[in-house]
Structure 1
Amino acid sequence: MIVVHHLENSRSQRIIWLLEELGTAYEIRHYERDKETSLAPKELLDVHPLGKSPIITDGDLVVAESGAIVEYLIEKYGDGRLQPVGGAQDRLNYRYWLHHAEGTAAAQLVLKLIFTRVKEQKLPIVVKQIAHKIADKVLESYVDPNVQRSMVHWESALSETGWFAGEEMSGADIMMSFPLEAASARAGLGRSFPNISEFLDRIHALPNYQKALAKGGKYDFVQ
């Protein structure tokens, strides 16, 4: 039996969604974030040395890292589903977006979160002024321009078919769902990114996405 070691309000939500799409039997082991730090609890260290979610166990096998989990599940349980059926370019796009989601995209969004939280901390007035100046400078000069550039890239990629790799939904779309949701929540979409907005509306309306949302619990990234 597959067990999803699921941290509340995290990117492991998309692993639950993937399993619903595959129709594969699984169970969820829920973990709550530390109330002070918002980090994963120490119990996850008993599952994997890094103690980070998502992690799945499949019998005696332990698989960590979102991209590796998605590839493993689709290859073992997909029976040809959720993989591009087109030519070499679709397959290359599929591989690119699987890696982009937790590579370039995630790194920029984590920086956005960290420096935004710096500005929200309760600090002594002098320290607060300095911290805010540093955070504003990093956000303005580096983080926000790179997040914006990525969003333009995603918007363009979705313009042809509405999916990231081919004519149908694939594992690449499941992987990219979290960066798009996080960017929407943290940076906003407005009217500048209609393809991203349409993509999010479409996947959020899917029955299997809704099932996964009900099973996964707290998830603040659905607007």
Structure 2
Amino acid sequence: MIVVHHLNNSRSQRVLWLLEELGLPYEIKHYQRDPRTMLAPPALKAVHPLGKSPVITDGELTVAESGAIVEYLLDRYGEGRLRPPAGTPERLRFTYWLHFAEGTAMNPLLMKLVFNRILNAPMPFFAKPIARGIATKVLSAYVEPNIKSQLEYMEAELGKSEWFAGSEFGAADIQMSFPLEAAAQRAGLDDRYPKLLAWLERIHARPAYHRALQRGGPYAYARG
């Protein structure tokens, strides 16, 4: 039996969604973030040494990292579903977006989260101007321009097809959901990007998406 070690408000929600799309049986072991630090609890280190989510166990196997989990589940249980056939241009696009989600899209989003916390963090009065000055400079000179560039790029790419890997919904769209939901919450994904917003509406309307929410529990990014 597949067990999803599910951390609230995390990338592991995508794993639940993928399993629902595939119609596979699975169990969930729930973990809650520390309300102060927002970090995963130490109990996750008993599953994987890094103590992070997502991670699944399937019998004797433990698989971590979102992209690796997606590929494992599709290889073992997918039966050709949710990704284009090997050797096609669509498959190449699928592989690209599967890895773009974490390899490129998430980096500036995480930096924005970190530097925004620095702006609002309590600290000695003499350190505030320095820390906040550095954070503001990094956000304005690097982080926010990168996010804007990426959103413009993704908007243009969705002008080529309805879904990220082509004309059909697939696991690349599941993988891309987290960075785009995060961008809609806190990084400027708004009416300037109508194709991305329409894509978010389409994924949020999928029955499997809602089944995953029901099983996974509260998820702050569910609505852009």
TM range (shorter): over 0.9
Q: How many residues align?
A: 223
CA contact (8 A) 1:5 1:54 kept: yes
Cα offsets for 1:154-211 (capped at 9, x unmatched):
1111112220101101111110011110111111322210011001111011111011
CA distance in 2, matches of 1:49, 1:115: 27
CA contact (8 A) 2:109 2:187 kept: no
**Aligned pairs (5 A) from 1:1-223:** 1-85=1-85, 88-223=88-223
What RMSD in Å do the two structures reach over aligned CA positions? 1.2
Instruction: Specify the code of the residue in structure 2 equivalent to 1:153.
Output: Y
CA distance in 2, matches of 1:135, 1:2: 42
Cα shift at 1:73: 0.5
Instruction: Specify the code of the residue in structure 2 equivalent to 1:60.
Output: E
Cα shift at 1:100: 0.7
CA contact (8 A) 1:86 1:166 kept: no
Cα shift at 1:214: 1.4
CA distance in 1, matches of 2:175, 2:191: 24
TM-score of the superposition, structure 1-length normalised?
0.97
**Moved beyond 3 Å, runs of 4+:** none
Question: Given the superposition, is the C-alpha separation of residues 80 and 72 from structure 1 closer, same or farther in structure 2, using an over 3 Å criterion?
Answer: same
Cα shift at 1:37: 0.9
In structure 2, the residue corresponding to 1:126 is in which secondary structure?
Answer: coil
Identity %: 57
In structure 1, the residue corresponding to 2:29 is in which secondary structure?
Answer: strand
CA distance in 2, matches of 1:140, 1:126: 23
Q: Which runs of 5+ in 2 are unaligned?
A: none
Cα shift at 1:85: 4.2
CA distance in 2, matches of 1:208, 1:120: 37
Q: Which runs of 5+ in 1 are unaligned?
A: none
Cα shift at 1:86: 8.5
